Amino acid sequence: MRQILLAIMVSLSLLTSCTPKQTLGEKETFLSLGTVCAVTLPSGSGKEAYDKVQESIVRVNDTFSRTKEGSELHILNLNHGGTLSSEAYALTKKAVEMADITGGSFDPAIGGLVSLWGIATDHPRIPTDREIAETDTDWKHIGFDDAKQSVSFPDNLAIDLGGIAKGYAADKAKEAILSLGIKSALVNLGGNVLAVGTKPDGSLWRIGLRDPEKAEGEPFIILQIEDKAVVTSGGYERFFVEDGKTYHHILDRTTGYPAESDLLSASIIGEESTICDALSTAVFVLGSKKGVELVESLPGYAAVVMTKEKEILFSKDFPYQYSII
């Protein structure tokens, strides 16, 4: 289950002044987390700074990839449990906490279903009803032993942190950026966008949310933010078509099939990208009414969603400046 894709538009206007001002440097891109990652730092930051941020992101992938041999999560699923590092244990527990908060609309126990569908692979397929019925997707069946930092779960359950790991990677990238003394930066992990501070000239970042029914890069709204994460989930990026029907990658544990809500996309804005990531998936699965109500119950987080009727809805008291395209 995996949320995805936010197209961004970042205004890189330069300050003109009698005294030199710092501006944004070149955007550096690389592949990780199953997507194209992009990092933009102030001019003059240097290669070592970019390398440190990239390393922080790649390390998250190497730890939490469900399919990468040797990752902690891959080994955990192979053994149907085990002892984890402090970091892996904490994020796995956080994922289960988010499942509790969202009533399972975000569900880290969905790994078995993800494998059955294979939507991110070269051979996606529609699983049988029996296969779905025999796959445990109940996050409440994941047990934790804090003293041992160990996790346990049934043999027919597999953990997938794809719905939270990219958000976590963005948060770790921010930690790396701040540790370098950098106060202005932009991180885009395949649509999970995190803005550090403001732009170097002090103006707000301008983040465009992709219109799911238009070409990639065409936004339907521009948000103006400072020091916030913006994460979007939608079914328009990873999917396959069989017998004229489209099957996307965001799965609903209650049916075992791709979620069929009234939404085309769900975007969450807030302080912590990890939480925004999980919430964007949950809102997409829940639909506009229940999804927006969920976000409104969580202080510090806001939502903007687009319905299949092309209606744009906002959570109550939406605090950010925006312009609809």
pLDDT tens, position by position, 52-74:
999 999 999 999 999 999 999 99
Q: How do residues 79-128 score in pLDDT, each as one tens digit? A: 999 999 999 999 999 999 999 999 999 999 999 999 999 998 899 999 99
Q: How do residues 271-320 score in pLDDT, each as one tens digit? A: 999 999 999 999 999 999 999 999 999 999 999 999 999 999 999 999 99
Average pLDDT over residues 19-32: 82
pLDDT of residue 258: 96
* Domain limits, CATH 1.10.3980.10, in the chain: 63-152
DSSP-H helix ranges across 125-263 = 129-133, 165-179
* Domain limits, CATH 3.10.520.10, in the chain: 24-61+164-234+262-324
For the domain with range 24-61+164-234+262-324, which CATH number is right: 3.10.520.10, 3.30.300.130, 3.40.50.300, 3.30.160.20? 3.10.520.10
pLDDT of residue 4: 37
Average pLDDT over residues 139-152: 98
| pTM over cut 0.85 | yes
Measured from the Cβ of residue 29, the count of other Cβ atoms closer than 10 Å reads 12
CATH code for residues 63-152: 1.10.3980.10
Residues contacting 136, CB < 8 A, separation 6+ = 109, 112, 153, 154, 156, 157
Residue 42, CA distances (Å) to 22, 39, 181, 206 in order? 7, 10, 11, 16
C-beta separation of 240 from 29 below 8 A: no
pLDDT of residue 237: 80
DSSP-H helix ranges across 127-189 = 129-133, 165-179
Distance (Å, rounded) from C-alpha 186 to C-alpha 196?
6
Q: Using the predicted structure, report yes or no on whether residue 169 has a pLDDT greater than 80.
A: yes
* Average pLDDT of the chain to the nearest whole number: 92
